[in-house]
């Protein structure tokens, strides 16, 4: 008899196809998040679970799932899972690193450039007919933005994605600063990146890119005090997790001009709605789509399947988190 896996959202077919060869597969087909009580019911008889970053996988889920041996998170971040609790119960947890690194770094740059050059404002100026109504074909002072080439980028969190963002920054002739829990001498050498304590990085950077995992230490790491350290011409880009930034403080910073703008792919609650933030012109917003390319999402599906198949074959899953 094949072991059972429950997948909490439809993922790309390549992963499902691989899984069907080894598992009895059940999928939650609704595009909305699975209601908690349904999840607790569905996990009762499964050996494996594929979860999304929007689901809290904690002791309550593990209590309901007496047969569960492995949780494969369809994300590189796994702050949605109580790892300590899983480990205590001998449940494996896996994630999807590497396969989404380039897509996410590209998107960090998409937000950086779109915010610096006011792309969304300019797009709606053209699309709304305002440009035609105004009747000004070209003006030397129209939609001026911030220079990027040759400026200083400060990357907070210098793992795979942070480093991929830095590699792209080299092509823009930028000075690269980074902050991380530990120094990365090889990357410093390769990219000429310079380590800075967080406060100094915030003071010196023209662009601050957040690429840290969400942990107790990084929760509201960017708060009022730290936002006040940034340059009034600086732009903050968050592709990490919404809770790394204190949103109330960020809105104040944007309204009062302590910083020039923000590009946000992640929010403190998702889905997110906040009229005060959305009324600001100097923000570019996206609905958590950093890794949303066909290639990355298929890579994630394949890696989820490879982890589960390895587990089924009695091997150590390739991207096990709680080793």
Give the three-state DSSP class for 50: strand
Instruction: Establish whether 160 is an annotated binding residue.
Output: yes
> Within its chain, how far is the Cα of 179 from the centroid?
17
Instruction: Point out the catalytic residue in the list 241, 297, 302, 306.
Output: 241
Instruction: Point out the catalytic residue in the list 118, 146, 196, 288.
Output: 288
Taking the C-alpha atoms of residue 119 and residue 136, their distance in angstroms, rounded to an integer, is 18
Instruction: Point out the catalytic residue in the list 130, 199, 270, 315.
Output: 270
Nearest approach in angstroms of CB 61 to ligand DGY is 19
Q: Is 276 tagged catalytic?
A: no
Taking the C-alpha atoms of residue 48 and residue 114, their distance in angstroms, rounded to an integer, is 40
Among 7, 39, 43, 53, binds ligand DGY (CB under 6 A): 53
Of 152 and 307, the one with the shorter C-beta distance to ligand DGY is 307
- Encoded tokens for 126: 């053209």
Residues 99-138 close enough to bind ligand DGY by CB under 6 A: 100
Instruction: Establish whether 145 is an annotated binding residue.
Output: no
Of 47 and 79, the one with the shorter C-beta distance to ligand DGY is 79
Calculate ∠ Cα 100-264-79, nearest 5°: 55
Spatial CB neighbours of 161, under 8 Å, sequence gap ≥ 6: 76, 101, 104, 105, 108, 211, 239
Residues 282-301 close enough to bind ligand DGY by CB under 6 A: 290-291
Nearest approach in angstroms of CB 92 to ligand DGY is 18
Instruction: Establish whether 196 is an annotated binding residue.
Output: no
DSSP assignment of 219-237 equals TT-B-HHHHTTS-TT-EEE
- Encoded tokens for 246: 């204190």
319 touching ligand DGY, by CB under 6 A: no
Instruction: Establish whether 23 is an annotated binding residue.
Output: no
- Cα distances from 146 to residues 119, 249, 263, in angstroms, run 12, 23, 13
Nearest approach in angstroms of CB 297 to ligand DGY is 8
Taking the C-alpha atoms of residue 201 and residue 274, their distance in angstroms, rounded to an integer, is 29
Q: Is 150 exposed, middle or buried (0-12, 13-18, 19+ CB in 10 A)?
A: exposed
Instruction: Establish whether 157 is an annotated binding residue.
Output: no
Instruction: Establish whether 16 is an annotated binding residue.
Output: no
Total residues at the site for ligand DGY (CB under 6 A)? 7
Q: Is 228 tagged catalytic?
A: no
Q: Which of 322, 313, 309, 316 is nearest to 50 (CA)?
A: 309
Taking the C-alpha atoms of residue 298 and residue 66, their distance in angstroms, rounded to an integer, is 30
Q: Is 118 tagged catalytic?
A: no
Of 102 and 152, the one with the shorter C-beta distance to ligand DGY is 102
Nearest approach in angstroms of CB 261 to ligand DGY is 22
The residues that bridge with 210 in the sheet, in sequence order, are 156, 238
Of 76 and 187, the one with the shorter C-beta distance to ligand DGY is 76
What string marks each residue from 56 to 95 as x (binds ligand DGY by CB under 6 A) or -?
-------------------xxx------------------
Residue ranges of the binding site: 158-161, 239-241, 288-290
Output the known binding site for NADP(+). 158-161, 239-241, 288-290
Binding site for ligand DGY (CB under 6 A): 53, 75-77, 100, 290-291
Q: Kindly list the catalytic residues.
A: 241, 270, 288
């Amino acid at each position: 008899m094949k072991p059972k896996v429950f997948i909490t959202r439809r993922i790309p077919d390549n992963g499902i196809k691989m899984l069907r060869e080894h598992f009895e597969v059940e999928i939650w087909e609704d595009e909305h998040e699975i209601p908690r009580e349904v999840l607790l019911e569905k996990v009762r008889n499964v050996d494996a679970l594929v979860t999304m970053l929007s689901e809290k996988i904690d002791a309550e889920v593990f209590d309901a799932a007496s047969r569960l041996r492995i949780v494969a998170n369809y994300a590189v971040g796994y702050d949605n899972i109580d790892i300590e609790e899983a480990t205590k119960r001998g449940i494996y947890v896996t994630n999807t690193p590497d396969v989404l690194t380039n897509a996410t770094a590209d998107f960090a740059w998409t937000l950086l450039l779109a915010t610096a050059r006011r792309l969304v404002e300019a797009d709606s100026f053209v699309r709304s007919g305002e440009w035609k109504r105004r009747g000004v074909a070209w003006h030397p002072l129209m939609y001026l933005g911030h220079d990027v080439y040759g400026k200083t980028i400060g990357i907070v969190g210098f793992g795979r994605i942070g480093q991929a963002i830095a590699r792209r920054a080299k092509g823009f002739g930028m000075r690269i600063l980074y902050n991380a829990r530990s120094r990365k001498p090889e990357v410093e050498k390769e990219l000429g990146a310079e380590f800075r304590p967080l406060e100094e990085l915030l003071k010196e950077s023209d662009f601050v890119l957040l690429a840290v995992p969400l942990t107790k230490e990084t929760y509201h790491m960017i708060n009022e005090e730290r936002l006040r350290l940034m340059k009034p011409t600086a732009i903050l880009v968050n592709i990490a997790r919404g809770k790394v930034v204190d949103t109330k403080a960020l809105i104040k910073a944007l309204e009062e001009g302590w910083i020039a703008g923000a590009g946000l792919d992640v929010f403190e609650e998702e889905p997110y709605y906040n009229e005060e933030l959305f009324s600001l012109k100097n923000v570019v917003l996206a609905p958590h789509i950093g890794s949303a390319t066909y290639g990355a999402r298929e890579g994630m599906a394949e890696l989820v399947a490879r982890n589960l198949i390895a587990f089924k074959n009695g091997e150590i899953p390739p991207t096990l988190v709680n080793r």
